[in-house]
Structure 1
Amino acid sequence: MTSIRTGDHDTRTEPGSVSWLGKKGQLAAVPAGRRTRRNLPHLLVGVLLVLVCVGGALWWTTSAQGRVPVLAVARPLSVGHVLERADVREVEISDVDTIATVPAEQATTVLGRPMATNLSPGALLTPGSVGPAAVPAAGHAIVAVALKPGQFPLEVAAGSPTLVVVTAPSSPSGSSVAPESGQMWQATVTGLVKTESDQTTVISLQLLGDAALALARVPVGQVSLVMLAGGER
């Protein structure tokens, strides 16, 4: 125990306490442990705020860096279409992607040029997307099929990836060269024209060479299209 004298008063404090002047000039004693516990929550809050700020700064830095704006297709585009500003939009991709793309600042190098291939919305524009027609692609061929309503989705457009399915004939056929029912091939729509006379839609499909020859042998009315997800394949 210690003794502190102030004027005529003798104030005694217990060991392990801190003293200071009270309202009337007298020394008051408060245990040191209580003051430490009172400051600890404020210290923890301060440390937490610092960690949050540092983490946010690191997240912003890593997310803002390593991204580059490039051009992507905004609506279905077919071969020969002259590219307009409304046909493309800006998207950001990682700068480590090895895909050949057209930087957004170089849009003037492709605008006003004809499309060399068919592209669906969301596909990235590449330097080879414009210029002389690039269909059919190497090793592929294009075949036309006449389809009635119900044999293809209404959403099918140029550039749509599809699955061509051979269906069973409505009546027995004596043909021995036609592909069997249930046979399927992957194809990409390159164009379509609707005829008003008999409600038939003629759809051009790009397939591998052998598949195109096989599809050409399928009798009319025995083909259906299944639209697949994703861009051009």
Structure 2
Amino acid sequence: MISSDTTPDKAAGRQGSWLDSTGSPGSPRRSRRRLPQLLLGALLIVLCVGGALWWSSAAHDRSPVLAMARPVTVGHVLSEADVRIVDVSFSVGVSTVPADRMVTVVGRPMATSLPSGTLLTPDSVGNALIPAAGRALVAVGVRPGQFPPELAAGTPVAVVVTAATPEGASTTAQGQGPGSSWGATVVGVASAGTDQTTVVSLDLDTRSASQLAQVPAGQLALVMQPAGGGR
């Protein structure tokens, strides 16, 4: 007679060791491997939700303000057609005119010249601000080919000294030779008469204006710069 030490309880215990609570075969190792994947998935969900909340908050921080729809010159009486509404996000302390304050600026003269696309500020309207403290106005005479025909008041430009004129005129004694340049903003453009000379009024800092005024006629060229790159 063969005896067996295996009892029903022990056999059931060994059998239950590889079954899960539902009676199906379980795999402890596989469960442990799934844990990092579950944590990674939860982290991705948190990041997505946080990103959506950040984007929504940033979008709500944008405010409608007034910007120039077209170039205007100093003294021009501002009209509704001169401005447009744009939504911008800006730091605290940036001076702008909210869209709902349009009635406070329309009908008032411009205190400075502004190019298209520039944000309107409260100081942009009212009494003329040119030349402002530390600034000066200087007029330069240029001929066709020395300035873009699209040049208009409010346009930021670089004023560049070119080579000496054919007549042999020398450049300034202060070293403003060919290649010297200054940043300025166009205030006005006017024809000087029948000799094809165009007089361009420029707003720039006082020191640069003094240097520019000493450059002999015919040795300057005006290069248009991106909007907002002037003063």
1:220 matches 2:217: yes
Residues 147/51 of structure 1: CA separation in 2 closer, same or farther (3 Å cut): same
Give the match for residue 93 of structure 1. Answer: 89
Residues 131/157 of structure 1: CA separation in 2 closer, same or farther (3 Å cut): same
Q: How much does 1:174 deviate?
A: 7.4
Give the match for residue 122 of structure 2. Answer: 127
For residue 160 of structure 2, the aligned residue among 159, 165, 179 is: 165
1:143 matches 2:108: no
User: Which whole-Å deviations, capped at 9, do the CAs of 1:171-219 have from their partners, x for residues lacking one?
Assistant: 2237987974334333211011246744432211123334434433433
- Aligned ranges 1:184-199 → 2 under 5 Å: 184-194=181-191, 197-199=194-196
- TM-score by length of structure 2 reads 0.74
> What is the SS of the residue equivalent to 1:31?
coil
Contact 1:179-1:217 at 8 Å conserved across structures = no
Aligned partner of 2:82: which letter?
Answer: D
Identity rate, percent: 49
> What is the SS of the residue equivalent to 2:165?
coil
Task: Work out the CA distance in 1 between the residues paired with 2:128 and 2:57.
Answer: 40
Structure having the higher strand fraction is 1
1:200 matches 2:197: yes
Q: Tell me how many residue pairs correspond in the alignment.
A: 218
Task: Work out the CA distance in 2 between the residues paired with 1:49 and 1:179.
Answer: 62
- TM-score by length of structure 1 reads 0.73
Contact 1:164-1:223 at 8 Å conserved across structures = yes
Structure having the higher helix fraction is 2
CA RMSD between the two structures: 3.7
Residues 123/14 of structure 1: CA separation in 2 closer, same or farther (3 Å cut): same
Q: How much does 1:117 deviate?
A: 0.1
Task: Work out the CA distance in 2 between the residues paired with 1:19 and 1:127.
Answer: 74
For residue 47 of structure 1, the aligned residue among 18, 28, 42 is: 42
Contact 1:2-1:15 at 8 Å conserved across structures = no
Aligned partner of 1:136: which letter?
Answer: P
